[in-house]
């Protein structure tokens, strides 16, 4: 029996390099080693996009295509859209009874996202309950592993505390405590060196055409101290070099590092070399995505994923209802 892994992604826009190198690339590996449940968290998007719900379906379909084009294979994993599996909402409701409000207000992502989405009014009940929905997502599939970066381990803590509280108060052991599956994620800053994000307008999208990649490479922040071609630079503080590390081979990395430190190369040629490698790196992705359409085949993929997810989710929910004495059918 393979261990079970659960991972999801919010459809708030097309996916960018940060999503790919921080998550998707890892999903493609994980699907070969674990029994994976991957989902697009459209209800999670609604917690912040409630005033513009029309965009959610559009982005969900776009993200689905990005996931498939990145190499996630629905034959190797269960790939689904969260709202197609209503058990997420039911377990969220039941778990919310066991979630003290103080716990939710202290969740680090709650504060982080409030800051990141400062232009939104996030003082809604759904947004505060976001971590409970996240817990329901994980627990429905009895996932023993959740891939997280080292800085995100605390995000899982609330889920584990919620499980202990539920088990303690109901006297029934229903859930599996998930453990973090630590993943080494490379640093992927935005073009302006802040976190890469749609809200900051600093992202490079996975399906950006070559001319867009070239243009964005030229806009990307370099070592701010290297104000002239004749001044040696420091690649360690340069966003272009961070990108080189994602898409370039060892030889180019050495060329860039040496050339920068000795002022042997200029930033424009360094950026152009990075862009050329990025165009090649995402060539297959662009070709695969261009072939994916919102057609019968894509909707069949969604439906099959939802059916598979529902079978496991319904089993878990049955156990939860039994623990709560809410199983009126027998
Ligand atoms: S030469 Fe390259 S690594 Fe150095 S500062 Fe310019 S863009 Fe960055």
For the chain, 330 residues long, give each residue's pLDDT as a single digit of tens: 899 999 999 998 889 999 999 999 999 999 999 999 999 999 999 988 898 899 999 999 999 999 999 999 999 999 999 999 999 999 999 999 999 999 998 887 777 777 777 888 888 899 899 899 999 999 999 999 999 877 677 778 999 999 999 999 999 999 999 999 988 778 899 999 998 988 789 999 999 999 999 999 999 999 999 999 999 999 999 999 999 999 999 999 999 999 999 999 999 999 999 999 999 999 999 999 999 999 999 999 999 999 999 999 999 999 999 999 998 875
Q: Give the contacts of 59 (CB within 8 A, at least 6 positions apart).
A: 11, 12, 13, 14, 45
- Are 311 and 168 contained in the same domain? yes
Distances (CA, A) of 251 to 212, 274, 322: 25, 12, 61
Residue 65 located in a structural domain: yes
Closest by CA to 204, choosing from 12, 14, 10, 9, is 14
Q: Whose CA is nearest to atom 6 of ligand 1?
A: 267
| Best residue for ligand 1 mutational test, from 217, 222, 255, 273 (most atoms within 8 Å of Cβ) | 222
Residue 195 located in a structural domain: no
Range of the domain at 52: 4-188+294-324
Residue 201 located in a structural domain: no
- Are 144 and 230 contained in the same domain? no
Closest by CA to 175, choosing from 126, 133, 141, 145, is 141
Residue 17 located in a structural domain: yes
Q: How far is the CA of 266 from the centre of ligand 1 (A)?
A: 7
301 burial level (CB within 10 Å; 0-12, 13-18, 19+): middle
Domain count, the chain: 2
Q: Ligand 1: residues within 6 Å at CB?
A: 222-223, 226, 233, 235, 238, 240-241, 256, 260, 265, 267, 270-271
- Are 305 and 274 contained in the same domain? no
Domain harbouring 172, CATH code:
3.40.50.620
Q: Which atom of ligand 1 is nearest to the CA of 261?
A: 4
- Are 38 and 117 contained in the same domain? yes
Distances (CA, A) of 289 to 15, 29, 61, 246: 12, 19, 12, 20
Q: Write down the residue that tokens 């009895």 correspond to.
A: 142
Residue 202 located in a structural domain: no
Domain harbouring 250, CATH code:
1.10.240.10
Residue 288 located in a structural domain: no
Task: Provide the whole-model pTM.
Answer: 0.92
What is the rounded CA–CA span in Å between residue 227 and residue 225?
6
pLDDT (0 to 100) of residue 199: 79
- Are 37 and 69 contained in the same domain? yes
- Are 18 and 144 contained in the same domain? yes
Q: How far is the CA of 39 from the centre of ligand 1 (A)?
A: 38
- Are 302 and 270 contained in the same domain? no
- Are 36 and 71 contained in the same domain? yes
- Are 273 and 145 contained in the same domain? no
Residue 322 backbone phi and psi in degrees, to 5: -65, -45
Q: How far is the CA of 193 from the centre of ligand 1 (A)?
A: 14
3-state SS, residue 74: coil
- Residues 52-82 as b/e (b if ≥16 CB within 10 A, e otherwise) read eeeebeebbbbbbbbbbbbbbebeebbbbbb
pLDDT (0 to 100) of residue 330: 58
CB 5 within 8 A of CB 37: yes
Residue 287 located in a structural domain: no
What is the rounded CA–CA span in Å between residue 196 and residue 247?
17
- Are 33 and 98 contained in the same domain? yes
Residue 130 backbone phi and psi in degrees, to 5: -45, -50
- Are 240 and 298 contained in the same domain? no
Count of Cβ atoms closer than 10 Å to residue 29 Cβ: 12
What is the rounded CA–CA span in Å between residue 206 and residue 286?
8
- Are 231 and 140 contained in the same domain? no
DSSP 162-213: HHHHHHHHH----PPPPEEEE--PPP-B-TTSSB--TTTT---BTT--HHHH
What distance lies between CA 330 and its chain's CA centroid?
Answer: 40
Residue 329 located in a structural domain: no
């Amino acid at each position: 029996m393979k261990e079970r892994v659960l991972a999801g992604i919010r459809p708030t826009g097309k996916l960018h390099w940060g999503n790919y190198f921080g998550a998707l690339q890892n999903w493609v590996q994980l699907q070969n080693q674990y029994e994976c449940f991957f989902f697009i968290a459209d209800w999670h998007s609604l917690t912040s996009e409630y005033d513009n719900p029309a965009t959610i379906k559009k982005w969900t379909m776009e993200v689905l295509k990005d996931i498939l084009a990145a190499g996630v294979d629905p034959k190797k994993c269960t790939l689904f859209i969260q709202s197609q599996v209503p058990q997420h909402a039911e377990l969220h409701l039941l778990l919310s009874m066991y979630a003290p409000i103080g716990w939710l207000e202290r969740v680090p992502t709650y504060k982080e996202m409030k800051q990141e989405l400062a232009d939104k009014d996030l003082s809604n009940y759904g947004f505060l309950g976001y971590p409970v929905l996240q817990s329901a997502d994980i627990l429905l599939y009895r996932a023993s592993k959740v891939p997280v970066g080292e800085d995100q381990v605390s995000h899982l803590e609330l889920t584990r505390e919620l499980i202990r509280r539920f088990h303690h108060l109901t006297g029934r052991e229903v859930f599996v405590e998930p453990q973090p599956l630590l993943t080494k994620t490379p640093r992927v800053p935005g073009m302006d060196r802040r976190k890469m994000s749609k809200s900051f307008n600093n992202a490079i999208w996975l399906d950006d055409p070559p001319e867009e990649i070239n243009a964005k490479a030229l806009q990307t922040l370099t070592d701010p101290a290297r104000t002239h071609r004749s001044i040696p630079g420091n690649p360690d503080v340069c966003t272009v070099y961070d990108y080189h590390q994602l898409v370039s081979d060892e030889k180019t990395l050495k060329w860039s590092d040496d050339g920068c430190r000795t002022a042997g190369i200029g930033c424009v040629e360094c950026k152009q070399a990075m862009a050329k490698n990025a165009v090649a790196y995402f060539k297959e992705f662009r070709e695969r995505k261009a072939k994916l359409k919102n057609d019968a085949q894509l909707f069949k993929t969604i439906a099959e994923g939802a059916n598979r997810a529902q079978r496991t989710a319904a089993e878990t929910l049955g156990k939860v209802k039994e623990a709560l004495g809410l199983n009126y059918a027998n």
